[in-house]
Amino acid sequence: MKSIKIEYYALFREQAGLSNEEIQTDAQNVDALYKELKSRHGFSMCSTQLRVAVNEEFKDWSSDLEDGDSIVFIPPVAGG
Amino acid sequence: MKSIKIEYYALFREQAGLSNEEIQTDAQNVDALYKELKSRHGFSMCSTQLRVAVNEEFKDWSSDLEDGDSIVFIPPVAGG
Amino acid sequence: MSFEFSTSTIDGEQLKQSLMSPYCGGYSSFEGWVRDHNEGHSVSKLEYEAYEALAVKEGECILQEAIDKFDIKEASCVHRVGALDIGDMAVWVGVSAAHRDAAFKACRYIIDQVKVRVPIWKKEHYLDGDSGWVNCEH
Amino acid sequence: MSFEFSTSTIDGEQLKQSLMSPYCGGYSSFEGWVRDHNEGHSVSKLEYEAYEALAVKEGECILQEAIDKFDIKEASCVHRVGALDIGDMAVWVGVSAAHRDAAFKACRYIIDQVKVRVPIWKKEHYLDGDSGWVNCEH
Segment D95-108, tens digit of pLDDT: 999 999 999 999 99
CA distances from D28 to B7, C20, C28, C74, D11 (A): 36, 18, 7, 17, 15
Average pLDDT over residues B9-25: 98
SS (H, E, C) chain B: CEEEEEECCHHHHHHHCCCEEEEEECCCEHHHHHHHHHHHHCCCCCHHHCEEEECCEEECCCCECCCCCEEEEECCCCCC
Whether residue B9 and residue D122 make contact (CB cut-off 8 A), yes or no, is no
Mean pLDDT taken over chain D = 96
pLDDT tens per residue, range D30-82: 999 999 998 889 999 999 999 999 999 999 999 999 999 999 999 999 999 99
Three-class DSSP category at A57: strand
Contact flag C33-D25 (C-beta cutoff 8 Å) = yes
Return the pLDDT at D137: 87
* B78 to D51: CB separation less than 8 angstroms, yes or no: no
Measured between beta carbons, the chain D residues lying within 8 angstroms of C87 are: 20, 22
Measure the CA–CA gap between C75 and C59, rounded to whole angstroms. 11
Q: Any chain A CB within 8 A of the CB of C36?
A: no
List subunits contacting chain A, requiring 3 or more Cβ pairs under 8 Å.
C
Whether ipTM > 0.90 holds is: yes
> What is the pLDDT averaged over residues B55-75?
98
Which of D14, D16, D17, D28 is the best substitution to test chain C (most C C-beta atoms within 10 A)? D28
Give the pLDDT of residue D122: 97
Residue type, D137: E
DSSP letter for A36, please: H
pLDDT digits (tens, 9 = 90+) for A26-73: 999 999 999 999 999 999 999 999 999 999 999 999 999 999 999 999
Q: For residue C48, which residues of chain A lie inside 8 Å, CB to CB?
A: 79
Q: Minimal Cα–Cα distance from D22 to chain B, Å?
A: 30
- Residue A19 CA: distances (Å) to CA of A6, A35, C57, C123: 8, 18, 21, 16
State the average pLDDT for chain C: 96
Q: What is the pTM of this model?
A: 0.96
How many residue pairs from chains A and C have C-beta atoms closer than 8 A? 74
**What is the reported pLDDT for C39?**
85
* CB-based contact B27:B62 (threshold 8 Å): no
Region for C50 from its dihedrals, namely left if φ exceeds 0, alpha if ψ lies in -120 to 50, beta otherwise: beta
CB-based contact B58 D135, cutoff 8 Å: no
Is D138 a residue whose pLDDT tops 80? Answer: no
> Percent of chain A having pLDDT more than 70?
100
pLDDT-above-90 percentage for chain D: 96
Query: How do the pLDDT tens digits run along chain C, 138 residues long?
Result: 999 999 999 999 999 999 999 999 999 999 999 999 988 899 999 999 999 999 999 999 999 999 999 999 999 999 999 999 999 999 999 999 999 999 999 999 999 999 999 999 999 999 999 999 999 986
- Between CA D124 and CA D93 the distance in angstroms is 22
Dihedral angle, C-alpha B17, B18, B19, B24, nearest 10 °: -150
Optimal mutation site among C91, C121, C123, C137, interface A, most CBs of chain A within 10 A: C121
At CB < 8 Å, which residues of chain A contact C? 7, 9-11, 13-14, 44-45, 53, 56-58, 72, 74-80
Q: What is the DSSP string of C1-53?
A: -EEEEESS---HHHHHHTT--TT--EEEEEEEE--SEETTEEEEEEEEEE-HH
**8 A C-beta contact, residue D58 and residue B47:** no
Q: How far is CA B60 from CA A51, D115, D117, in A?
A: 62, 21, 15
pLDDT tens digits along D2-39:
999 999 999 999 999 999 999 999 999 999 999 999 88
Residue type, D120: I
Contact B80 D115 (CB under 8 A): yes
Name the residue type at position D55.
Answer: A
Residues 6 or more apart in contact with residue B73 via CB below 8 angstroms: B6, B8, B12, B34, B50, B51, B52
